[in-house]
Each structure stands twice: as C-alpha cells, then as structure tokens.
Chain A
C-alpha cells in the first residue's frame, strides 16, 4: 500500500473515532434538556454543545481528507506528491485537535480580549477553535490543495472529477479565512459567517462528497466514468446554481434588505433538486448493475447517503425554509431536527460508505461478510430517523407555543421549554440517541475487525 493510501486509512480511522466523541457529547448535551441544573457550573451546556459541533466538523473534514488521500493514487496512477509533509501534518492536526478539546473542556472561557480569541475560544458557532488552531487548519488545507494540484501536474492528467475536486479547494480555503476576524457589528459578522458556514456545508462540501462518491461509484458498481462525470457536472451546476443564492435563506432576519426574503425563499426551494438528482442517479446505477457488489455495506451506505441527503438536507430544509414559516421555525429544535438529519444524511453516511470500501481493499477482503454491519446500519438509521422525528415534534411545539403564541419573549421561550409535548420529544430524542451510540460501537467494532475476525479470507487483491 502506498503512502497516500496509508494516510487515507489514518484519516478515515481518525474520522470514525471522532464520530465517537461527537456522539458521546451529543448524548450528554441531550441530558441537559431532561435534568434541571445538570453539570451546572462544572461543564455547562454551551461547552458540551461546542465540543459536539466541532467534533462534527472535524469528523467530516477528516473523512473527506481520508477519502481523497485514499482515492488519489487510483485516480492519477501515481503516488501523491508531497505525501511526506501531509503525513507529518496528520499528527500535528490530531495533536492540535486534542489540545483544543482539552482547553474547551478544562479552561472553557478565555478573557474578553484578543488574547482570549487567540488562545482559548473564539465563541463563534462552528468556528470556536482559537485562532492558533485555525491557522493550523489553514496550513493543513493548503497542504491538501498542494498534494492534489502537484499530483495532477505530475501525472499530467486532469480527469473531470479531479477538475471539480481541485476547484473545491479554492472555496474550502478562501471562505475559511472568515474564521479569523470578529466584527463588532453582529449583522455584518453573521453576513460573512454565513459565507463560511453555508458555502462550506451547502456548496463546497456537497461537491467534495459528490467527487468522493463519484469515485466510489465507479469502484463499487463499475459505473462508467462518462456517466459519473456528466452527473457530477450537472450536480455542480445545480448545487451552485441554487446554493449560491440559496445563501439568502440565512439572510432573512439578520438586518439584511427585504429582497432576501424572496431570493432566499425561491432558491432554497430549488436546493433539493440536485439532491433528488443524486437519488435518481444512485438508484439508476444500482438497478443497471443489478445491485451486484462485493461490498454490500458500502453500497447500502451509499444509497443511505443519496436518500439521507435528499430527505435530511433537501426535504427537511425546505420544510422550514420559506420565510413565512421560517419566521417561527428559525432557531428552534425544528432547526436542530434538520441540522442532524442533513449532516448525517449528506456526509456521515458517505464517509461510512468510503470507510467500508477502504477496509475491504486495504485488508484484501473479497466479500464483506458478517452480520455486525447490518445491526449498525439498521440501528444508526432507525436511531437517526427516530431522533429527528422526536426533535421535529419538540421543534414544532416550540415554534407554535414559544414563537407564535408566546412572541419569543423569555417567558414565551420558557413556557415552550416546559410544555409536555416539547418534553416528550426531548425524552424520545435521548432514547433514540442511546440507540445511535450503541449502533456506533457496533459499527466501529465491525470496521476495526473486518477481515481480521475468524471469517474466510481471500488472498490479497491486486493493489496491496
């Protein structure tokens, strides 16, 4: 196995481990809603939530990077250029993340000046990481971009997928620079902050996972490159064609001009289109190849990605995005329902699919076997659908009671939070959360021991 593929395995392993932290802190955060005064003054909700959402970002990034380093040598036919630096930076990245998490949990709050921003906590959602760590993330991204561009140059071959992947490196780095300044004017701050959050999650990342899944589809089902690339270009056109102005659905209420209500409403209504296209694409390909594959879990997680992305990001997003509804649904547990379904459906499922492919190939397994993956697949999906359903119940009662009836005052909010419908959703959410965590451990165990358990092994395959 060459160096790039080894690094791919490392990043994917780290991603799966980070998902564990993500889930444990998520489960912990859910208890705060059930138990008054839980960990108050010791480990407050904001800190737990902060670790939860940062673990999500890191798990996704590590998953993408793992997949890219893994597929790159196959796609270009050469060892990745500058892989030594990339392998060194992996350990720096892991160490930096560990330090940030320790600081978040034990230092928690910095001073209210620039030094607090540089050393402890920037306190902007998703980009809480102190600036020193953000500088490190930029260095890692620059190295990733260098690895890709230099390898393409050396191989003298730009495939369509590589073309799209190279393009995504530009916004990946450019909008991340918004993580540094802290404008005093919250309206201006949020205007640019959404460029980072929306342009990453609803545009750049969608295209990165699109490239990764295009490579996966060709390997897994033997779909022809031409078909995959036409779909990828169509996806680029639709994702960016609807997503760039779909940014408008974040510009309804932050002090922006009123025309964003119309622009955001229309374009975010169109945003599910590319995701629907991916479902059609995946089903069509699966049917065309009569669902024949040597890696059933990877294949099923790929299908889960297509549906999860469409339903979680597309439908769940559209449900609450029209301004007439968003006026009441925005910033409630309804948003939480959509957020969980979307990140899971669009990214986590895709990363798990790639992790199964990598486990199979790196260990030379002819046919992925066993029952563990079935339990993990069923448990995670049932747990997630149950959890977002429960959150939706809580979110809707919060929107109706706290927002529409209560007018969003402190008293209205608190009335919604102690309402029994809200609480029932919260209890159910924690219950499904336990199912998700248990299924995660099955998944992690399965991925770790695949091909190493006492099942039939075949001789190593071509690449290893």
Chain B
C-alpha cells in the first residue's frame, strides 16, 4: 500500500461543509420539483383520466393516427364505434383483458425483442402503434385469410412460425387464443395513447427498398 494512505482523518476537521450543504440544498430542491411534476404527470397518465391516456374501453372505438398542424405533431384520433372481435367490452371486461394482455407481454419477455414507446429492445419492431400498421390489411389479412385486422393479429401471434416473411422471424411463444386476443386488445389500447408525436409520420410514409 502506498505510504500516503496513512493520512488519518479526524471527524469534522477540514470538512468542506460549504460544498456539502450546497449539494444537499440542490438535491432537496430538485427532488421537490420532481415530486410536484410527478403529481401532475400521473394525473395525465392515468387511464381515462382525461389526460393523454384513454380509458381501456377505447378498444370499442375506431382509432387513427393523424398529423395535427396546430401542435405540429402526430396524434391519435378516437373515432366512432369500431368493436374488437365483434364484442362491446364493458369497463370491467376491458380492464380484465388489459390486465391479461400486460401479463402475457411480461411473461413472454416481449420487450426484449420489441419496444413500447421506444423502450425495450430493437431487434423487432416498436409496438407503440402496431395496431395501426398498414401492413395488417395489406399483407397479413390476405396471408392469414382473416376477415378482420384483429383476427389476423391473433393468427399471427399464435403461429408466427407459419408466416416467415421479413428479414427477422418471430418465434412461436405458445400463446393460447385467449392470450393472443388479450395482447391484440392491449395493442389496440396502447395505440390510442397520445405520445407527443412519437413515432413521427407513422403510416404516412413509404420507404423505398
């Protein structure tokens, strides 16, 4: 051990109190600001609280994503009735299917390939607006011979290995039909969240290959 470490420190002696007090004051102030902002943010984030996150029963309605010139960003637009699986979900039913959907998403570790709101992994597409993806109608409905977007999604989620298309293939995660429906409902709900314009230009652009 180098000799210089033998310096003995007496408590209190030479303690740079000025800097310590500054650090404590800064931290306390910032924490206070964060707490106030958190109270406001949670109000905006609560489902059906009138903020950015619609109630779970939004799955009974039509959802689109459109550019809003006034705020210069893309925003979800909630339209008239558009039932999911031909069923009108009550508040309790909607809550139950969302709870299930979230647990399926966690149990299959979806976010270690996919992302929600850009958080997760980047091996597979971000699912924030997956419900609104034009590809379901253009490609997957004919391929799965499903009559609706949600049925195509259920077919795909239950048997992704039957449809090896793009540069990546999704493994079969053994989802039951109930689980696949719950995930589909969850994806419909999450597409209705107002996300300050993320992702930008979704569904309005075509990339040349």
Contact = CB atoms under 8 A, between A and B. Distances in A.
Contacts of B174: 109
Interface in B64-114: 95, 98-100, 102-113
Contacts of A156: 11
A317 to B, nearest CB: 15
A220 interface: yes
A124 B106 contact: yes
Given A407-B204, A409-B133, A327 B112 contact: no
A418 interface: yes
B166 A253 contact: no
Given A226-B16, A413-B125, A186 B133 contact: no
Tell me what chain B mostly uses at the interface: helix, strand, loop, or mixed: loop
Most buried by A among B130, B171, B203: B171
Nearest to A463: B1
Contacts of B142: none
A212 interface: no
B123 interface: yes
B203 A361 contact: no
A327 B198 contact: yes
B19 A49 contact: no
Nearest to A244: B30
A41 to B, nearest CB: 5
A226 B17 CA distance: 11
A163 interface: yes
A185 to B, nearest CB: 5
A158 B125 contact: no
Given A46-B121, A74-B5, A219-B2, A409 B134 contact: yes
Given A45-B113, A410-B133, A257 B202 contact: no
Interface stretch (A114-122, A138-146, A301-309, A437-445): A114-122
B9 to A, nearest CB: 6
Contacts of B173: 109
B20 A233 contact: yes
Contacts of B98: 184
A461 B1 contact: yes
Nearest to B194: A255
Given A109-B173, A241-B30, A182 B122 contact: no
Given A187-B52, A255-B193, A405-B207, A241 B26 contact: yes
Given A109-B173, A159-B9, A245-B34, A331 B126 contact: yes
B98 to A, nearest CB: 5
B41 A408 contact: no
B200 interface: yes
A254 B194 CA distance: 8
A193 B23 CA distance: 26
B126 A37 contact: no
A263 B196 contact: no
Nearest to B166: A414
Contacts of B135: 409-411
Contacts of A401: 207
Contact of A403 (B9, B200, B206): B200
Given A36-B169, A46-B110, A408-B202, A187 B9 contact: no
Contacts, number: 302
A412 B199 CA distance: 12
Contacts of B171: 40-41, 44
Contact of B200 (A163, A230, A236, A328): A328
A218 B8 CA distance: 12
B143 interface: no
Interface stretch (A61-69, A89-97, A332-340, A381-389): A332-340
A134 interface: no
A213 B26 CA distance: 23
Given A45-B123, A186-B190, A410-B133, A260 B14 contact: no
Contacts of A163: 20
A293 B52 CA distance: 57
B92 to A, nearest CB: 13
A395 to B, nearest CB: 9
Interface in A371-417: 398, 401-417
A131 to B, nearest CB: 12
A160 interface: yes
Nearest to B114: A46
A184 B55 CA distance: 12
Nearest to A50: B112
A113 B98 CA distance: 12
B121 to A, nearest CB: 6
Given A247-B34, A254-B195, A123 B205 contact: no
Nearest to B204: A407
Interface in B146-173: 161, 164, 166-169, 171-173
Interface in B118-141: 118-126, 128-130, 133-135
A409 B120 contact: no
A406 B207 contact: yes
Contact of A46 (B46, B112, B179, B207): B112
B76 to A, nearest CB: 10
B111 A123 contact: yes
Contacts of B169: 36-37, 40
A32 B170 CA distance: 12
Contacts of A47: 109, 112
Contact of B103 (A36, A159, A182): A182
Nearest to B132: A409
Given A117-B103, A327-B199, A398-B122, 14 more contacts: A116-B106, A123-B108, A125-B112, A185-B53, A233-B16, A233-B19, A253-B195, A254-B119, A255-B44, A331-B120, A403-B200, A406-B207, A412-B207, A415-B209
Interface of A: 32-33, 36-37, 40-41, 44-47, 49-50, 74, 108-114, 116-117, 120-125, 128, 156-160, 163, 182-191, 218-220, 222, 224-226, 229-230, 233-234, 236-237, 240-241, 244-245, 247, 250-261, 263, 293-294, 323, 327-328, 330-333, 335-336, 361, 398, 401-418, 461-463
5 contacts: A117-B107, A184-B95, A261-B196, A331-B119, A409-B135
